[in-house]
């Protein structure tokens, strides 16, 4: 593939992640143009915040002239966009994404690009976010010290051309690259990202059902309750796509945690509870050792 340095980036989805990536690139002195693709209202906000130089509602218009196209919509939108953009995208353009699940995304790229998929598409997932969505919450430092997962396709060489340049920018904006196969990514993220969201959602929903929306729960509950329910405010639109595209792994994780909760419930007045606490403390010990 002929290599042309990145002079223009198109970000499809100028919300929290897409907007933060643009702001991070600007903060690290990216000298090229950044083009956005979104609804008119979102593009207006993105321009006002200095996130993008120009914007288009139609993806086909937004990608013209860009060496890098970043798909920053919910996962099912990413899968759809790969199919829609591939036929008209120049071979000199690198298509990447920031979706929270990777197996279905990688599968779609292989279907659409065929034997050239390894030269045309790079699947990625920055482990960064907030409980609020939209460009209003975009932050140039959102990715600082965050892991940015890359899940290369078979035979993909990330040490040359646009792949290497893009990886270099990921490093410059403060993220740490980690690579693993798409299936391993989805199983891991079901536990370390998707499961915590569902637990937070379930706890918040149970509290509202038990005490009502007007109960002064968070101040009375203190820091622990605030931390455990903070991400319950996350948008359903994003998590719907994650749940659908990673259903099997998430079902497995939820089932296993349900079993542990049942075990705790059944052992509230036995030594079994102490054993559960001891097992759980092993996680903190491991984290401290790694630090």
Highest-confidence range of 181-185, 213-217, 234-238, 286-290, by mean pLDDT?
Answer: 181-185
Q: 200 and 255, same structural domain?
A: yes
Residue 157 belongs to some domain of the structure = yes
Tell me, yes or no, whether 2 lies in a domain. Answer: no
Nearest Cα residue to 1 out of 80, 75, 69, 93: 93
Domain boundary among 131, 157, 180: 180
Judge whether 261 lies within some domain: yes
Domain assignment present for residue 220? The answer is: yes
pLDDT of residue 213: 84
Tokens 């990202």 appear where?
193
Same domain for 196 and 163: no
pLDDT of residue 2: 46
Residue-level pLDDT at 285: 73
Distance CA 85, CA 67 (A): 14
Taken in order 14, 15, 19, 21, the sign of the CA dihedral is negative
Per the model's pLDDT, the better-predicted residue between 286 and 15 turns out to be 15
Are 36 and 50 in a shared domain?
yes
Whether 287 has a pLDDT exceeding 70, the answer reads no
- Identify whether 152 is part of a domain: yes
pLDDT band at 184 (very low <50, low <70, confident <90, very high): very high
Residues 29, 142 share a domain:
yes
Instruction: Specify whether the CB–CB gap between 148 and 125 falls below 8 A.
Output: yes
Q: For residue 199, what are its two tokens?
A: 């637990």
Task: Output Rg (C-alpha) for the chain, integer angstroms.
Answer: 21
Residues 242 and 133 in one domain: no
User: Strand pairing of 124-126 and 121-122?
Assistant: unpaired
Which CATH number is 191's domain given?
1.10.3660.10
- Model confidence, pTM: 0.91
pLDDT over 90 for what percent of the chain? 83
**pLDDT tens column, 79-118:** 999 999 999 999 999 999 999 999 999 999 999 999 999 9
Query: Which pLDDT value is given to residue 288?
Result: 64
198 and 103 within one domain: no
Q: How many domains does the chain have?
A: 2
Of the candidate ranges 84-93, 185-194, 209-218, 268-277, the one whose mean pLDDT is the lowest: 209-218
Tokens of 231: 């991400």
**pLDDT bucket at 214, cuts 50 / 70 / 90:** confident
Predicted pLDDT of residue 5: 87
The stretch 190-215 carries a mean pLDDT of 93
- pLDDT of 286 higher than 80: no
pLDDT (0 to 100) of residue 157? 87
Residue 290 has pLDDT above 70, yes or no: no
Q: Is residue 139 located within the same domain as residue 264?
A: no
In a domain, 3, yes or no: no
Residues 142 and 205 in one domain: no
Within its chain, how far is the Cα of 34 from the centroid? 20
Among 180, 201, 228, the domain-final residue is: 180
**Contacts (Cβ under 8 Å, ≥6 apart) of 93:** 63, 66, 67, 68, 69, 120
Report pLDDT for 1.
45
Q: What is the pLDDT of residue 220?
A: 80
Q: Check whether residue 211 and residue 145 sit in a common domain.
A: no
Q: Is the residue at 206 inside a domain? A: yes
Could you tell me if residue 1 is inside a domain?
no
State which residues form the domain around 122: 8-180
**What is the rounded average pLDDT for all residues in the chain?**
93
Phi, then psi, of 36 in degrees rounded to 5: -105, 155
Cα dihedral 259, 197, 239, 201 in deg (nearest 10): 80
d(C-alpha 30, C-alpha 68), whole Å: 13
Same domain, 228 and 139: no
Cβ–Cβ < 8 Å for 49, 19: yes
Report pLDDT digits (tens) over 236-281.
988 999 999 999 999 999 999 999 999 999 999 999 999 999 999 9
Domain ends where: 120, 149, 180?
A: 180
- Residue 4 pLDDT: 66
Hey, what's the torsion of the CAs at 232, 183, 179, 116, to 10 degrees? -120
At 154 the pLDDT is: 85
* Angle (deg, nearest 10), helices 75-85 and 236-245: 70
What would the pLDDT profile of 121-153 be if each residue is shown by its tens digit? 999 999 998 888 889 889 999 999 999 999 999
Query: Residue range 13-34: average pLDDT?
Result: 96
């Amino acid at each position: 593939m002929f290599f042309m340095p990145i002079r223009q980036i198109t970000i499809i989805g100028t919300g929290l992640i897409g907007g933060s990536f643009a702001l991070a690139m600007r903060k690290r002195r990216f000298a090229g143009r950044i083009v956005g693709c979104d609804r008119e209202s979102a593009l207006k906000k993105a321009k006002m915040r200095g996130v993008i130089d120009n914007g288009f509602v139609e993806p086909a218009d937004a990608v013209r002239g860009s060496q890098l196209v970043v798909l920053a919509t919910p996962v099912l939108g990413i899968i759809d966009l790969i199919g829609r953009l591939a036929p008209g995208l120049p071979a000199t353009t690198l298509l990447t994404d920031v979706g929270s699940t990777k197996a279905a995304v990688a599968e779609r790229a292989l279907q659409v690009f065929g034997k050239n998929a390894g030269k045309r598409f790079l699947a990625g997932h920055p482990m960064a976010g907030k409980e609020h969505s939209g460009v209003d919450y975009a932050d140039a430092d959102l990715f600082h010290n965050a892991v940015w997962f890359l899940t290369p396709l078979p035979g993909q060489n990330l040490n040359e051309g646009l792949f290497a340049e893009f990886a270099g920018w990921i490093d410059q904006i403060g993220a740490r690259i980690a690579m693993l196969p798409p299936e391993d990514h989805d199983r891991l993220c079901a536990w370390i990202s998707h499961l915590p969201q569902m637990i937070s959602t379930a706890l918040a929903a149970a509290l509202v059902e038990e005490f009502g929306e007007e109960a002064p729960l968070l101040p009375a509950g203190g820091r622990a309750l605030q931390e455990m329910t903070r991400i319950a405010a996350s948008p359903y639109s994003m998590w719907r796509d994650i749940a659908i595209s990673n259903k099997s792994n998430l079902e497995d994780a939820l089932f296993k945690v349900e079993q542990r909760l049942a075990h705790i419930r059944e052992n509230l007045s036995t030594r079994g509870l102490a054993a559960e606490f001891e097992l759980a403390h092993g996680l903190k010990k491991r984290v401290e050792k790694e630090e």
